[in-house]
Amino acid sequence: MEVQLSETAQGALDRDCPVLVLGGPGSGKTTLSLLKAQAMLHVLQPGQEILFLSFSRAAVRQVEIRCRDILRSNERRQIVVRTYHAFAMDILRAHGRLLTGRVPRIVYPGDENLAKAAFDGDWGAEVERLARDEGRYVFGQFAAAAAQLVAGSSSIAALLANKYPVIILDEFQDTDDAQWALVKALSARSKTVFMADPDQRIFDYDARVDPERINHLRDHLGPAEFDLSGENHRSPDAGILQYANAVLMNRPLPDTKDVITRAYWANAFDSTVHAGVIWMLSSLRKAGIAHPSVVVLARTNALIGKLSTILGQEHSFNGQTIRPVEHDVLWDADLTAAAALVVASILEWQSYPKEAALGQTFDRIADYFDAKNAANASNTARQTSERYRTAADRARKGEMQRLKSAKALTASYDSGLVLQGDPAQDWLHARDLLGAGNDLSDLLANAKFVRLFRATDEIGSRLASAWDLHGSYGRAVGLVRRALEVGRLQADQRDPRGCVLMTIHKAKGKEFDGVLLVEGQYQGNFFRDTDTEVQRAAARRLLRVGITRARHQVAIIRPQGAPALVTPAGAPVLA
């Protein structure tokens, strides 16, 4: 593939390492880094590889796609693309015994969340104790342990440098303290290329991600710097990047046909969003894109769940009926997985006695609130978990329930749950039983992320096979758990096509033909009246990330009277 480079990009390509490449979305950082890797392949010895590190599987997937575009097959075999976590875990598994004298064991996120929820004390201190005394490591410790190994052992450092004499680091501005320690240890022996965009810092809520990270790099290595911020290869003929930068900098918005805004009245929210998706898909097809990819983005999981429900229903817009839109949802998996297991436990009711069946369902509900408490510590979640553990014990003893929702679910069991062998319909029937009480409304919302619209869906096919073999869903919990694990691994490997829903944070590192940014009337607000200047700046960076996911078209859907996207001096404060 022939790539035309600007003078600045060519300078970065020709310069010896360490090199820092700065630039916004679509500026060509990834392409340049792969060309630089290609230029250094000839110095590799047999068995050596160039290591490319990024943050998410989705970002890794995008790099792999670019590798196919730029590199020949024999060249691709000499470049390894990994996430920071996966690379650090490899180091830990191979050499972690040197830290404690024990073979290291991995505590996966789901297990960590449950352990954290059940632990009464300083979880950070407990995590350190688990590693030190038991050789058990949670995901957040991988980088710190790997850094300790590389910095503390010249043999391990030399082994890695010999294997990976060149390391490319993507999205460097988002490295946390432990990852930075690992990078410093690796950079002592390997050549390094850093890619960063200071305006894409969207993890300010994590105290370990220092906003001064790029300055730390400058002080430590003094890399040659090359700024590609004026370049745009993702949407070169569109005004998308200029619009996004205006939002970021709070400057007057440019007039561009590539970004449109629509305001809705509260009673027209559902139909406006639905019509916006239909319009976007149609517009992109008319522009010559046969199979367009469209992403619907919002700030919160709750709003994404609502949008998924909206797109799954018929609506009327300007006198026309709009049919449901087939779509995928990329979700924050832990809570959805916990909610899905509650639904699966209800599908098992026909296979077990009342005491065992209800006991399991109430335990799965308690697990959900444990996971919720672990994700965001809450006395309400912890207390709700305890109440459902008590409900599970009462169910197994055949005692009367006291919780309203537990009573309602018990009554549903007693009335007889009728399943038909249609996984999609049976799933919805079981799921809707969770609407029995207000305390389960959040659980029900998360359960709606699991899509069973297609017969080929992983969960649907597993449940259908179980029904065909046994005439029941007797092992639904195990089947659903395994299907969700497969889904997590595959979700970021799919090339985006059709309509996909996700939070803006989840979209980082991905690209789509069209983007719809949706702000709810009362949830998922872009800005809040109580925002500090720091919070408002973080919200602008997040909006820029969302807008710049688009290659061709952006639509921003907001409530009437919402605060204006930009408020330069003298501008009105309402949209």
Q: Which residues are annotated as a binding site for ATP?
A: 23-30
Q: Which residues pair with 557 in a beta bridge?
A: 262, 518
Question: For residues 276 and 557, is the Cβ–Cβ distance under 8 A?
Answer: yes
249-258: long-range contacts, CB 8 A cutoff, minimum separation 24: 249/540, 250/540, 250/566, 250/567, 250/568, 251/566, 251/568, 252/566, 252/568, 252/571, 253/565, 253/566, 258/550, 258/552, 258/553, 258/554
Going by the annotation, the residues of the binding site are 23-30
Question: For residues 464 and 471, is the Cβ–Cβ distance under 8 A?
Answer: no
Q: Which residues of 98-110 are buried (b: 16+ CB within 10 A; e: fewer)?
A: ebbeeebebbebb
Q: Which residues pair with 329 in a beta bridge?
A: 501
Task: Give the orientation angle of helix 109-118 with respect to helix 354-375, to 10 degrees.
Answer: 90
- Residue entry with tokens 């340049």: 32
| Bridging pattern class, strands 315-317 and 550-559 | unpaired
Q: What's the rounded Cα separation, in Å, for the pair 360 and 356?
A: 6
Please name which of 484, 515, 523 lies closest in space to residue 108, comparing C-alpha atoms: 484
Neighbours of 70 (CB within 10 A): 18
